[in-house]
Amino acid sequence: MGRRVKPAPIGVYDSGFGGLTVLRELSRALPRAEFVYLGDAGRAPYGGRDADVILSLAEQCVERLFSEGCRVVVVACHTVSSVALRHLQARYTGPGQERAVLGVTIPAAELAVDHVSTRGGRIAFIATARTVASGTFTTECHKLAPVAVVERAAPLLAPIVEEGWETSDVARLAVRRYLDGLDAQVVVLGCTHFPLLREAFEAATDCPVLDPAPFVAARLVDWLTRHPDFTVAEGEPRFLSTGDPDAFATHGSRFLGAPVTTVQHVAETAGRLEPAARVVPRGQVVRA
């Protein structure tokens, strides 16, 4: 066993709001733990960005959470987990660093494979375009078992949720169109926005619809049990956002299922995210 370090908060990172659905489950599983949530809402969405941009944004966000005292960071975004998780782990974790970076896509694969292993059938994974293009979910499933997997990009769904239209006819129609023609026996929600669309998904298919977030939380509890050196601080959640703090608090409450308290604005300065006052520029902007 290594040296026991000072109790630290758990960081949760997402490109915007969706990771709050994961934080909701993490908080249920670890009700006394202190979480620091960073939503990169000012630079979202990530789903259409190329890999190099995602790596750079992910580095800045994870480094900010380390600066906030976190030693464990949960990447609560399938796009980042699918594209950048291995990079983040190679860069920031390892012997002597007393840090860990965990994702959501591998637990999603474990949950899906366990489901079809006991019930049979093909897995359908619905996610952002960048997540699907990575092929990571299928790769992780095939590491576990020779299961059949189909991945489908659904780029309109996250913006629909961002607009607050998750219970609208638009949402139901879009989900139905994305699921049309899928020959699968289980549907996995491969974007952390999609739990807000669960009702629309369940109306559009007779298949079980799996939200990986509760299983992600269970896996984190198991990981902490197996790594007792990573002691967790107790306290209330803290929130950081690169977007407008007031808007983040308002919209974030829908995802978290509880009020989002004071939000600290952070902004990119010389390649790093630093606390900053929220200033909305007007007219032409000239950078010094």
- Residue 32 tokens read as 């006394």
Residue 202 · residue 209 · CB < 8 Å: yes
Amino acid identity at 101: V
How many C-beta neighbours within 10 Å does residue 103 have? 24
Catalytic residue among 70, 77, 141, 207: 77
Catalytic residue among 61, 70, 191, 207: 191
DSSP character for 68?
T
* 70 carries an active-site annotation: no
For residues 269 and 252, give the distance between their C-alpha atoms in angstroms, rounded to a whole number.
25
Q: Is 207 a catalytic residue?
A: no
Helical H runs in the chain? 19-29, 51-67, 78-83, 85-92, 105-119, 129-134, 136-144, 157-162, 169-179, 198-204, 213-226, 245-256
DSSP state of 8: B
Residue 238 CB partners (closer than 8 Å, separation 6+): 9, 34, 35, 36, 37, 68, 261, 264
**What CA–CA distance (Å, rounded) separates 136 from 142?**
10
User: Contacts from 220-223 at CB under 8 Å and sequence distance 24+?
Assistant: 220/10, 220/26, 220/29, 220/30, 220/74, 220/102, 221/29, 221/30, 223/100, 223/102
Catalytic annotation, residues: 77, 191
